[in-house]
């Protein structure tokens, strides 16, 4: 996969763990969109069963950024996989709750908890 500036992607078994990093508000929408497209392509090519969005390194993100995360989760679901959010700070957790995103994708406190729960759902 090409070098990404906004997202760090790690393969963990059947899961892709995507960690946005840096000051998201400083990235242009075009860059966010382009990198999200790259990750959706990776989901498609790797046929990842799971997508874990690790939000631990973010202080804030806006609606455009949330849209890019949702597009990755939708791609995963479209391919028959499962996705989730994890490790958001209190402020961002409230934003995600207010948007009712946890009705569509679960939330976990940590990456290990997310991976464990997703893996157990296949047993």
Tell me the per-residue pLDDT of 103-112, one tens digit each, with 9 for 90 and over: 999 999 999 9
Tell me the per-residue pLDDT of 16-68, one tens digit each, with 9 for 90 and over: 999 998 666 667 888 888 999 999 998 988 768 999 999 999 887 788 889 99
Q: Where are the domains of the chain?
A: 7-109
Q: Is the pTM of this model over 0.85?
A: yes
Fold of 7-109: Transcription Regulator spoIIAA (3.30.750)
Alpha helices (runs of H) in 52-89, residue ranges in sequence order: 63-78
Alpha-carbon span 121 to 123, nearest angstrom: 6
pLDDT band at 123 (very low <50, low <70, confident <90, very high): low
Query: What are the distances in angstroms from CA 67 to CA 12, 70, 118?
Result: 24, 5, 23
Compute the Cα dihedral for 74, 76, 81, 84 and give only its sign.
negative
68's torsion region: left (phi>0), alpha (psi -120 to 50) or beta?
alpha
């Amino acid at each position: 996969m090409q070098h990404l500036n906004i997202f760090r992607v790690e393969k963990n078994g059947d899961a892709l763990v995507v960690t946005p990093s840096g000051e998201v508000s400083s990235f242009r929408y075009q860059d966010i969109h382009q990198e999200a497209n790259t990750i959706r392509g990776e989901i498609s090519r790797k046929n990842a069963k799971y997508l874990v969005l690790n939000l631990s390194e973010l202080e804030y993100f806006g609606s455009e950024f949330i849209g890019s995360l949702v597009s990755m989760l939708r791609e995963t679901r479209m391919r028959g996989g499962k996705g989730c959010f994890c490790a958001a700070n209190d402020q961002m957790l409230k934003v995600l709750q207010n948007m009712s995103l946890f009705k569509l994708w679960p939330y976990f406190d940590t990456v290990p908890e997310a991976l464990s729960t997703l893996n157990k759902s296949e047993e």
